């Protein structure tokens, strides 16, 4: 495909600017700290994402990003406001060393992945086969007050190496009812030994209104040795209703 003269000229100017940039770039700041206005050489430590998403914490405060490609022996570029043909960086990967032209003082490049997963009430199952309950796409409640219909669970898939920060539980606890929710883990070798089940976070409807958030105990997710799951107790009858649960985490 042949480039128009205008396009070719723009590309040539971009390459010339690149050469000047690398020759005159100033020392950078550490990733995760405040960056200096101008050029910064930092390591990207997040998960693989398109550059605009990976650098979302700098949105509006940077003009250009360069990355050296050791295979092609050339620099790749991403400029959020440039024409598409100029941008050759399609994603940033963990460990990438990049030059970032920061346009504002105090801008920071986030280096920790922040994520949230949500679990609908409809994914929960009773722990007792004799349970009688009612379920819609995002609501679960026992049909009666019998003990068999009180406890429910749902498996959770968390990113390897992540640190759970909190859980948020949405519920409706009618008069005389209680909704209790926990995020637990247990070694994959454990069968039914309750002493080997460990709590990461817990909410209780009597502690406040819905939705309710609880901070998690410090723990690094290790899917090679543990399994993770939510346990919900709906006590007091049909008025105890679970809506949905979200789990916030960093890293992974």
pLDDT at residue 251 in the model? 78
pLDDT at residue 130 in the model? 98
CB 211 within 8 A of CB 168: yes
Judgement on whether residues 47 and 160 belong to the same structural domain of the protein: no
Is residue 225, in this structure, part of any structural domain at all? yes
Domain containing 87 equals 9-102
DSSP run (H or E) holding 11: helix 5-24
Which residues are registered as beta bridge partners of 116?
248
Q: What is the pTM of this model?
A: 0.63
Is residue 229, in this structure, part of any structural domain at all? yes
Judgement on whether residues 70 and 118 belong to the same structural domain of the protein: no
Is residue 45, in this structure, part of any structural domain at all? yes
pLDDT at residue 24 in the model? 43
Closest of 151, 152, 146 to residue 123, by C-alpha: 152
Q: How do residues 169-202 score in pLDDT, each as one tens digit?
A: 999 999 999 999 999 999 999 999 999 999 999 9
Provide the CATH number for the domain around residue 197: 2.60.120.260
Judgement on whether residues 75 and 154 belong to the same structural domain of the protein: no
Judgement on whether residues 35 and 148 belong to the same structural domain of the protein: no
Secondary structure letter of residue 29 according to DSSP: P
Q: How do residues 219-240 score in pLDDT, each as one tens digit?
A: 999 999 999 999 999 999 999 9
Is residue 1, in this structure, part of any structural domain at all? no
CA count, 13 A, side-chain hemisphere, 90: 1
Judgement on whether residues 244 and 131 belong to the same structural domain of the protein: yes
List the chain residues with pLDDT less than 70.
1-33, 111-112, 252
Q: Which of 48, 77, 102 is the last residue of a domain?
A: 102
pLDDT at residue 47 in the model? 76
Is residue 176, in this structure, part of any structural domain at all? yes
Judgement on whether residues 64 and 142 belong to the same structural domain of the protein: no
pLDDT at residue 5 in the model? 52
């Amino acid at each position: 495909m042949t480039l128009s003269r205008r396009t070719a000229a723009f590309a040539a100017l971009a390459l010339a600017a690149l050469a000047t940039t690398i020759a005159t770039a100033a020392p950078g700041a550490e990733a995760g700290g405040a960056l200096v206005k101008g050029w910064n050489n930092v390591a990207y430590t997040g998960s693989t994402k398109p550059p605009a998403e990976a650098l979302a914490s700098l949105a509006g405060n940077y003009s250009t990003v360069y990355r050296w490609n050791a295979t092609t022996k050339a620099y790749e570029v991403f400029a959020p406001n440039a024409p598409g043909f100029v941008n050759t960086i399609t994603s940033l990967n963990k460990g990438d060393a990049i030059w970032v032209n920061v346009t504002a003082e105090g801008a920071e490049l986030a280096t920790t992945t922040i994520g949230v997963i949500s679990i609908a009430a409809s994914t929960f199952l009773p722990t007792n086969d004799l349970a009688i309950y009612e379920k819609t796409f995002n609501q679960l409640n026992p049909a009666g007050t019998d003990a068999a219909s009180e406890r429910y669970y749902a498996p959770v898939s968390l990113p390897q190496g992540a640190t759970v920060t909190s859980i948020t539980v949405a519920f409706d606890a009618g008069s005389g009812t209680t909704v209790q929710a926990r995020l637990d883990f247990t070694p994959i070798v454990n069968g039914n030994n309750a002493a080997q089940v460990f709590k990461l976070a817990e909410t209780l409807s009597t502690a406040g209104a819905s939705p309710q958030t609880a901070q998690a105990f410090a723990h690094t997710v290790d899917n090679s040795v543990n399994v993770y799951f939510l346990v919900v107790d709906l006590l007091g009858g049909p008025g105890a209703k679970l809506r949905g649960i979200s789990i916030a985490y960093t890293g992974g």
